[in-house]
Structures are given as C-alpha cells and as structure tokens.
Structure 1
C-alpha cells in the first residue's frame, strides 16, 4: 500500500530542486536551497516508507544521488549560482543566463543538470567514462535494442536464480517466513561462490537494463543525442584491482559529488593536495560517505518488525569501508613489490590472474555483508519484471542444502 504522505515528501524533494534551478538568482538562494533540500531529505526518515512493499519503495529510496548532486552544484557554483557554472559542451558558456526563469527552456536545462549525474557532454563531465557511441541514430537504436533483449533475458535469469537460491527453503515448499537470519552465504565454498556470483551480477544487469531502456526512449523520441549515452559501465575484463573496479568499471554516478565533498574536507583540514595523506583520506572519506548514503536509503524501505535499524545498515557500511581498506592494501602491496624487487615487472598474464583472483576474493568476502541487509528487508524477494521466460528452466537448478 502506498504511503501518500511519504511519497509526497519524496516528490517534493525532487520538485524543490527543479524549482531552485529554474528560478532567477536571488539573495540567499544558495542557502535556502541547501537548507530546504537537507530538511526534506531528513524528513523522509520521519514519515515512514513510501510503500509497505520493498520493491515499490525502492525507487524513492534511490533518489539520493540526485539531491546529492544538486547540493554539490549549488555549494560549488561560482557567482550567482549554477547558471554561472554549468553548461552543455555544445552550447555557449553560461547558457542559462539567457534563459527566462521558469520557462520551458530553463526547465529542460535544469532537468538535464539534475539527472545527468555523470555530466556527459557538459562542462563538468566526470573522468574515465567509457567512449561515447560513434554511430548513426538508426544504428545506435538497433544495437541498443539488441542489448535490451540480452539484458532482459539475463535479468530474468538472475531474478529467478535469486528466488531459487535465496528465498526457497531446502524442502522447496514455502518461502522463508522470518528473514532475520537469511543470508546469501553458505558453508560449502562452491555454493557460497555461486550464490555470491548470482547476487553480484544482479545490479550490473538490472541497472544496465534500465539505462539502455532510457537511452532507446530518449534517442528514439529525439529528446537527446547518441553521444549522450556512453556505456554505463566499463570493461569488466580490465578489472584487476579494486581501485580500477570503482574508478573505471563502475558507473561513476557519484564520482563528482564525492570528489567535491572529499576535496572540501582535505582543504578544510589544510592537508596539501597530492600527498599520500590527502589521497588516502579522500579514498576513505568517499567510501564512508557512499556507505552512509547507501545505508540511510535502506532505512527508507519497509522491513519486518524484528529487524533492527543496525541490521538494516551496518552490513552496508562495512561493505563500503572494506573497499577503502582493499584499495589501501593493494596499493601498499604494489608499492612494496616495487621496492623489494627493484622494479621487476611481473609477467602480464600472471599479473592479470593475480589481479582477478584478488578482486574476486575481495568481493566474495565483502558482498554478503551488504547482500544480507537486502535479504533482511526482503528487497530481492520478488522479481520486478512481473513475468519470466526462464522460470521453468531455473527451477531445474537444485536448491542449496
């Protein structure tokens, strides 16, 4: 059932961001915007979940990257505000200055600024994005449609595997009634690896499916251009370090906001940029902030009455802090090897195998901490597709004992 009050607060949080962006610059706009967004973001935790069904409440819980991006754009804007700081790469600098406040033109500019969190083809485009598509509109739509079909089938497979592996008891009858002790872990290392792998692949395919669908609609309706839609993820075959996983392969949606926040902190503490202390403090702060924001979003979801707030958050924080620890560790090991070996280069194939093994092991250990939080909130219990092509096939997979 929809909680109308909670839904209204979340919608208001989106609306006020747009309202401040399309308004004319005025005295105190920056402070009023930051105060209002922060207040509404806090208020979402006092009005209850937007729905008593976790899957229906999740879209509201995932709005925080948008308001985080709007906050950093007002905080870091020069002059009178965002109009002086952000513009599209193929448009004149400070293009919004010439737009009439509250006009359709400025609404389109503001909406693009809000939702284009990676800044693709804007003057704040984040680093290390995959190459932009260099093809015609018709060819782009064709290949995106092919990708859509593949991603849909893979999402269906993973959703059905999730139901089979995580939610079906060993007797194969009823779903687990109590989620307090549910986990994706398993004492048999083979089942453990398979279950973690199935869970880990989910976000990649689910998010990619939504992104490709949006690209087909936007380009098909001439709402945006082909170049606006570079791949959402990088090349997984190149992920040989945890740093590379998060710095190049993953979606980079939060990169700008986290970089601005951590940069502000090191400057506030008067730590010189470019030093090891500055670099690793920013790594740890980035993952701490990301972990906190992901954790607080879990509190916006409905959960069984016997699940505590700590059980909804601690695992998520632990997962993200582990990533900072893993990056620090792998950097130290690489530095130590260069010192002890005199700069001896490892065979590229050996180096790649060691890298793959390290990254796989790191996520094999850490992912269950976050995944078990989602199990407790029963977030992955039902397929969001509402249909399945592969259900009968997946039901042939044995249930973990």
Structure 2
C-alpha cells in the first residue's frame, strides 16, 4: 500500500515536471516512459482513493488525462521553444533553472492555458476586468452557493432516474421521452459540480493572493451558444481537453495521414481523433468506477458526437448554398430543439450504466434538502413517500 502511494508522485508527477524543466533535447521524450507505465499500473492495479463511484470515475479519468497531456507536452510539442507566457516574449530555454522550474509548474497546472500565448480566448466569456480582489471573492462565493443550490435540486430528477432504472416508469410515449430526459441529470451534475469547485478554488486562491481575478475566466460558456452539437462542445462546454486533443488530432492528420492543413478532410480527421481520445480518457474512468471496460457506452457516446457534428456540417453547408446561411432566431430555436433531442437520444446509453452502479451504493444517496423543507412546510407526506 505504501509503495503504491509513492508510484504516482515519483514516477508520474516528478518525471512530468522534470520534462518541462529540462532544456530541449532529443532525450527529453524518455520522460514519457515512466509516466505512461506508472499511470497504466495505477489504473489497473492501484487502490481507489474512496469507495464512491463518482469520485473513482473522476480519479480514473484524471490518470488518463495526465498521460494525454504528457504526450502532448513531451512527445508532440517542444514546449520551451513553442509555448510561452503572454507576458514573456522570450524562449524560457535560455532562463536559469529556478525560472524554468516556476515556468514548468505553471504550465503543468493549467489545463486551459490561461495566461499563456496558446490560450483559446475566443471560446470563453470575457475575463473579470476592473474588479477588486474582495469583490471578486464575494462574487465567486455567491456563485458557488448558487451552484450548490442547483446541485441540491438535481437530486429530484436523479431520484426519478433511479425509478426509471429500477423499471418503475414505463418507456412508452411521452412517459418514455420524459424517462430518457432524466438521464441528462448526470451531465447537469458535471456542470454544477465543476462550476462549484471552480468558483470555490478561485475565491480561495485570489483571497490569499496566489492569483488574480483575471486568472479565472468562467469555466463554461453561454447556454445561448449551444444551438448546435458542435457549438455545445466548442463554445459552451468546458475546454479543459481542447489543447491536447487538438494537438493529437493535428499530429495524426499531418504526420500519419499526410493531409493538407485547412482542408475539410483534415478537419474531420482531427474531429474524430479529438472525440476518440476524449472517449478513451473517459473509458478509463468507466473501468475504475465499474470494473469493466465494455459495460458503459462511453466510446459510442463520444464517437457519435463527431458523427453528429459532421452531419451538422453537411446540413449547414447545404443550407448556405440554398440561401439560408444567415443565423436567425428561428434557426437558433430549431437548433436548440435539435440539440435537446440529440442529448435525450444519445446520453442514456452512456449514463445508464453509471446510474445502475450508483443505485447499488449505500450511504451516497441523498434527498434534496430544499425538497424536504418544502414537504415539511406544506405537509406533503404523499410526495415524501414518492420522492
């Protein structure tokens, strides 16, 4: 047990950090070997930190994510010559060791490249500007409270979903449509959970002076931008994976298939590589949480996203040729209905196996606190038995 606890810091974190600190060299790629081996060993044989499927899923996903990021920063990218901070125009390779260590730590701990030249600024809401430190902290704590309330309310459709899994709700007609819609609560849990943790972390680090408000742009985009499946993933959903899935997609498109950059075929290859890699990463979480590589519908779900986006691309191009290229309120409304219908169809096979796992867990089910208060105030004993 003690040896297992040392494997991750000594053979994963440390080699990754050293690979970012050492000056450019052909031998720098050797640092990837212990990182890959250590994370595979931990994934297959390591002890889970807790006996709770949601946390174990996140842990397994984080192991695979680390390998993917290391592959990008060690195998595909000459980081010290290609990446730089926005406030630093020089190549860090010429800097002293202490500065390279600080630089490497910053690169290692930012998944979205905030403050770096490769930051994707067009995909996020604007950064906080002209706001005092404590006004920012109070704002983030209020937002964290808001997402906690949403998280509490999510327990209501979650209990309905458990009833669907247990076969207590029929799957015919409108009832079946509603039953399938309850599976979307698992995506909502990811959204509220990440937002709540992000806002708390932002408030803490800014309050103690470790970061500035400008370092914490919103982690998710605007709901109003999600009127296609492509825009849902590219503009609304978190962009923590964008850097490394894009890097691998471009590498495979250019170096393996030798496709010309900017062509439709190259774009589609990069699209499918990005979602395949994302699927593999989430598959690692499936394995740790469900002890099975094949039980969940993860790979099917993520590859279907690429299929849906490709379909949208064809439809949008056809509409443009027919003179309907301008985005209107009507086209957005149609798009929102399409995206909602897509999720209702595509999500259940992915989240259903997780629902079955969570039903069997003892001590991790909770009823909505807000619902309990309302029931006590209204005396809704019948509703209490149902929910």
Specify the TM-score bucket, using the shorter chain as the normaliser. Answer: 0.7 to 0.9
1:373 and 1:355 map into 2 onto residues whose CA distance is: 29
Residue in 2 that maps onto 1:76: 76
After TM superposition, give the deviation of residue 136 of structure 1 in Å.
2.3
Matches within 5 A, 1:331-342: 331-339=313-321, 341=322
Residue in 1 that maps onto 2:161: 166
| 1:367 has 2:347 as partner | yes
Matches within 5 A, 1:42-191: 42-51=40-49, 52-63=51-62, 64-78=64-78, 82-95=79-92, 97-100=94-97, 103=98, 106-127=100-121, 128-134=123-129, 135-159=131-155, 161-162=157-158, 164-167=159-162, 169=163, 186-187=171-172, 188-191=175-178
Alpha carbons of structure 1 residues 272 and 26: separation in structure 2 relative to 1, 3 Å: closer
Residue in 2 that maps onto 1:174: none
TM-score by length of 1: 0.82
CA offsets, 1:58-112, max 9 Å, x none?
342132323422321122333xxx3333332123523464242xx5x65543332
2:184 and 2:83 map into 1 onto residues whose CA distance is: 40
2:36 and 2:75 map into 1 onto residues whose CA distance is: 12
Q: Do the aligned residues in 1 keep the contact of 2:11 with 2:35 (CA within 8 Å)?
A: yes
CA offsets, 1:193-236, max 9 Å, x none?
54134333111111111111111111111111111110001101
TM-score by length of 2: 0.85
Alpha carbons of structure 1 residues 322 and 216: separation in structure 2 relative to 1, 3 Å: same
1:191 and 1:6 map into 2 onto residues whose CA distance is: 45
Higher mean Cα deviation, 348-357 or 17-26? 17-26
Q: Secondary structure at the match of 1:88?
A: coil
Higher helix share: 2
2:298 and 2:102 map into 1 onto residues whose CA distance is: 35
After TM superposition, give the deviation of residue 279 of structure 1 in Å.
1.1
1:242 aligned to 229, 236, 244, which one? 229
1:397 and 1:185 map into 2 onto residues whose CA distance is: 21
Q: Secondary structure at the match of 1:120?
A: coil
Higher mean Cα deviation, 235-244 or 390-399? 390-399
Matches within 5 A, 1:184-263: 186-187=171-172, 188-263=175-250
In structure 1, the gaps of 5 or more residues are 171-178
Aligned residues: 373
Q: Do the aligned residues in 1 keep the contact of 2:282 with 2:298 (CA within 8 Å)?
A: yes
After TM superposition, give the deviation of residue 132 of structure 1 in Å.
0.9
Q: Do the aligned residues in 2 keep the contact of 1:137 with 1:219 (CA within 8 Å)?
A: yes
After TM superposition, give the deviation of residue 30 of structure 1 in Å.
1.9
- RMSD over aligned Cα, in angstroms? 3.2
2:227 and 2:245 map into 1 onto residues whose CA distance is: 23
In structure 2, the gaps of 5 or more residues are 376-382
CA offsets, 1:323-365, max 9 Å, x none?
11111111111222233x2x14567121111100111111111
After TM superposition, give the deviation of residue 297 of structure 1 in Å.
2.4
Alpha carbons of structure 1 residues 311 and 302: separation in structure 2 relative to 1, 3 Å: closer
Q: Secondary structure at the match of 2:306?
A: helix
2:75 and 2:190 map into 1 onto residues whose CA distance is: 31
2:11 and 2:60 map into 1 onto residues whose CA distance is: 12
Residue in 1 that maps onto 2:293: 309
| 1:278 has 2:262 as partner | no
